[in-house]
Amino acid sequence: MNANTAFYNAFEAGDLDLMAAVWLPEPDPVCIHPGNAAISGYAEMMRAWAMIFANTPYIQFFLTDVQVRVDEDVAYVTCTENVLSSGEGAPEDGFAGGKALATNVFRRTSSGWRLWIHHASPVLSSSGGRQEEAE
């Protein structure tokens, strides 16, 4: 689904304008990053994205296990986000890796599909039940 690709492209680019164009402004969108509280409302969410972009010098997603379901004017994508990033939490002069399971819910509008809900949950690692961090 092109709208899902646009979301991850905007995230990787750290481009607030691209990210703003992906999201459905109303009814209130919801975004849940791994280990964080839900962010509801377009303005609040855009402020959160600005903070993420300001503190993430590099991030790249490798999506696996992608499943798409379309039901009239609502669609969802589930996937595994395999993440490579630098910045907070990454080793000095290195990258951190993580994994999250994500659900992205889209609504069809007159201007195309827009992201309505993004929910990513950390994946438990196979080493001792620790959570792997992503995003």
**What's the CATH code of the domain at 89?**
3.10.450.50
Query: If DSSP states are collapsed to H, E and C, what string results for the chain?
Result: CHHHHHHHHHHHHCCHHHHHHHECCCCCCEEECCCCCCEECHHHHHHHHHHHHHCCCEEEEEEEEEEEEEECCEEEEEEEEEEEEECCCCCCCCCEEEEEEEEEEEEEECCEEEEEEEEEEECECCCCCCECCCC
Q: What is the pTM of this model?
A: 0.86
User: CA triplet 57, 87, 34: central angle to 5 degrees?
Assistant: 100
In the structure encoding, which two tokens stand for residue 121, read together?
């949950």
In a domain, 135, yes or no: no
Domain limits for position 36: 3-122
Handedness of CA 7, 14, 52, 41 (dihedral sign): negative
Distance CA 43, CA 14 (A): 17
Report the domain count for the chain. Answer: 1
Whether residue 132 is contained in a domain is answered as no
Q: What is the structure's pLDDT at 1?
A: 82
Q: What is the pLDDT of residue 93?
A: 60
Q: Is residue 12 part of a domain?
A: yes
Q: What is the pLDDT along the chain (135 residues), one digit of tens a residue?
A: 899 999 999 999 999 999 999 999 998 999 999 989 999 999 999 999 999 999 989 999 999 999 999 999 999 999 999 999 886 655 556 567 889 999 999 999 999 999 999 999 998 766 544 555 555
- Number of Cβ within 10 Å of residue 68's Cβ equals 13
pLDDT of 111 reads: 92
Query: Can you give the pLDDT at residue 85?
Result: 86
CA–CA gap between residue 67 and residue 4 (Å, rounded): 11
The verdict on residue 133 lying in a domain is no
What per-residue confidence (pLDDT) applies to 12? 97
